[in-house]
């Protein structure tokens, strides 16, 4: 596969990112079990054997247990940390008493969150730290202070954001010493606003995606990462009888391409994203060894323009203007 924008900063980073949200058990305060530890070992083995060396975490995943169990694996495998890339996220806080779930980009919370993540992961540094969701109360000067402090201390090498539009990134970047190198967005065959925004120009139709975000990231060498990229398995064998006509038709189309090209349906779904010239980096959320291997088959193919448009138009459920 071609180099991606992130190769400028992490030259050996894999095209696919393994998402770690499924590690550590349930989203409660129950302890990490022997089975959870075994799952983490198998997950890491499956990813590494499939050529994936990039792992995506967040401080909130299974309330910190995803980081904890991953860190326990690292302790048991000396030398592995230097062979992989770890990406963390912070900024979402759970409800406490009368205080609801909220976002927090304050300097103190960013630093506190990173230090806790490092402790759970049993590592001295993160290769990347992303701000998880935009905080309406963000003071960019405080974010700049936190990033500077973490970078100077060697605790974070690079920085990025998640779920931000181009205007928000541009504004935040104007306060930072370090470049924003990643923007992680929901992008998939079932979440098409990032594409429709561009093709519906001058059509009198609105979509829920801020114009120019993809273009801003491309022109500033910001890696677009796609979360939710497998659409919860809708096109990879899940029963879709109760779904819309567009979903059923697209599932059939994916299956047909899978058979014709001799790869998994997961590979077809990811190949559609990776065919885009922005060099999108999918973040796969599965911890299943078979599905991780199936996703890695994308390295063997590249969809042509006709195949790409067939999938796009089918998923839209209506013709292009």
Neighbours of 21 (CB within 10 A): 18
Question: DSSP character for 143?
Answer: H
* DSSP strand pairing (102-103 vs 92-93): antiparallel
Pair of tokens at residue 182: 């990643």
Candidates 278, 272, 280, 279; CA nearest to 304 is 272
Helices (H), 182-242: 193-199, 213-219
* DSSP strand pairing (180-186 vs 281-284): unpaired
Catalytic-labelled residue, pool 61, 85, 103, 216: 61
Pair of tokens at residue 311: 């999938």
Catalytic status, residue 309: no
Distance CA 116, CA 121 (A): 9
Distance CA 51, CA 13 (A): 10
Does an H or E element contain 131, and which? strand 126-131
Pair of tokens at residue 94: 């759970």
- Catalytically active residues are 61
């Amino acid at each position: 596969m071609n180099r991606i924008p992130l190769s400028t900063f992490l030259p050996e980073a894999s095209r696919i990112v393994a998402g770690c949200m499924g590690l550590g058990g349930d989203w409660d305060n129950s302890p990490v079990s022997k089975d959870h530890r075994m799952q983490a070992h198998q997950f890491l083995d499956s990813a590494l054997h499939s050529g994936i060396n990039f792992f995506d975490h967040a401080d909130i995943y299974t309330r910190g247990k995803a980081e904890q169990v991953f860190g326990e694996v690292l302790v048991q495998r000396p030398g592995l940390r230097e062979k992989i890339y770890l990406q963390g996220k912070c900024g979402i806080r759970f409800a406490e008493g009368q205080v609801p779930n909220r976002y927090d980009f304050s300097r103190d919370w960013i630093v506190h969150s990173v230090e806790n993540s490092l402790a759970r992961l049993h590592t001295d540094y993160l290769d990347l730290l992303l701000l998880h969701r935009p905080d309406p109360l963000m003071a960019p000067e405080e974010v700049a202070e936190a990033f500077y402090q973490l970078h100077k201390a060697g605790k974070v090498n690079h920085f990025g954001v998640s779920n931000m539009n181009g205007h928000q990134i541009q504004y935040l970047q104007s306060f930072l010493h370090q470049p924003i190198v990643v923007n992680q967005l929901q992008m998939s065959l079932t979440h098409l606003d990032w594409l429709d925004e561009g093709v519906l120009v001058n059509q009198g139709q609105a979509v829920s995606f801020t114009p120019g975000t993809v273009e801003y990231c491309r022109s500033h060498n910001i890696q677009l990462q796609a979360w939710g990229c497998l659409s919860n398995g809708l096109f990879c064998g899940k029963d879709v009888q109760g779904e819309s006509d567009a979903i059923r038709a697209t599932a059939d189309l994916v299956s047909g391409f899978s058979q014709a090209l001799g790869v998994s349906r997961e590979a077809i779904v990811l190949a559609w994203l990776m065919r885009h010239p922005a060099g999108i980096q999918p973040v796969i959320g599965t911890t299943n060894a078979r599905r991780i291997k199936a996703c890695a088959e994308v390295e063997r193919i590249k969809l042509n323009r006709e195949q790409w448009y067939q999938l796009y138009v089918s998923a839209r459920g209506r013709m292009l203007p």
